[in-house]
Amino acid sequence: MGAWELDLLHALQHLHVPVIDMVMVAASSSAFRLVALATVVLPLLARRRTRTAGVAVIAAVAASELAVPLVKLVFARPRPFMVDASVALIVPEPGGWSFPSGHAASAFAAAGALAVSLGRDRWKLWLPAVLVAALIGFSRLYLFVHWPTDVAVGAVLGFVVGTLAARAVRWAAQHRGHRVPGTRPS
């Protein structure tokens, strides 16, 4: 919660115009996150070749949703609008603590799990998920509901959780006798 964080958040407030406001409010909404997740996961689960990637994304988001509230309780960091009431919010005040951003964590958990599951060669499939995760993280700053370090740590935490979930799902699939695309049978 350094001065630079508040300065950056204040600078972002100068970007507000109705069309960007609508995009940022939508990107931060639970409905958008659910639709984005379903858009990624359902096609993955439908194809045998990518099913483990779909399971990894679900596992990553679930793990992120479990981990973030625990971290928030430890740090109990107030949100920007709690520290500086001079900015009028364009969304309802979110409840709970600020650090880390749960939105960023779950979005980057999904993107990380997808990237690790699909591999470097299939970057065209997972890069859009990374870009959407970045948009979600940025929206939390734009809306003045998170500090930059909340979003950064949420993104890192999410990516780590996504990586671990993808590896765990791949390991479990291999040890159940299922062939995981891109790996050699054990």
Q: In Å, what is the CA distance from 65 to each residue of 4, 18, 59, 80, 170?
A: 29, 31, 10, 22, 21
- Cβ contact 112:60 at 8 Å: yes
In degrees to the nearest 10, what's the CA dihedral of 53, 101, 66, 135? Answer: -20
Q: Give the pLDDT confidence score for residue 122 in this predicted structure.
A: 87
Q: What is the pLDDT of residue 69?
A: 96
Residue spans of the domains in the chain: they are 3-88+98-175
Spatial separation of the C-alpha atoms in residues 68 and 101, rounded to whole Å: 8
Three-state SS at 147: coil
Q: What is the pLDDT of residue 32?
A: 83
What's the pLDDT at 17?
94
Give the separation between CA 71 and CA 66, rounded to whole angstroms.
9
pLDDT of residue 40: 85
pLDDT one digit per residue (tens) for the chain, 186 residues: 679 999 999 999 999 999 999 999 999 998 888 888 888 888 888 888 889 999 999 999 999 999 999 999 999 999 999 999 999 999 999 999 999 999 999 999 999 999 999 988 888 888 999 999 999 999 999 999 999 999 999 999 999 999 999 999 999 888 876 555 555 554
Instruction: Please list, in sequence order, all residues whose beta carbon lies within 8 angstroms of the beta carbon of residue 121, skipping any fewer than 6 positions away.
Output: none
pLDDT value at residue 77: 96
Q: Which two tokens stand for residue 126?
A: 């997972």
Is residue 99 within 8 Å of residue 83, measured between CB atoms?
A: no
The length of the chain is: 186
How far is the CA of 145 from the CAs of 49, 92, 109, 122, 123, in angstroms?
39, 10, 20, 34, 31
CA–CA separation, 93 vs 13, rounded Å? 16
pLDDT for position 88:
92
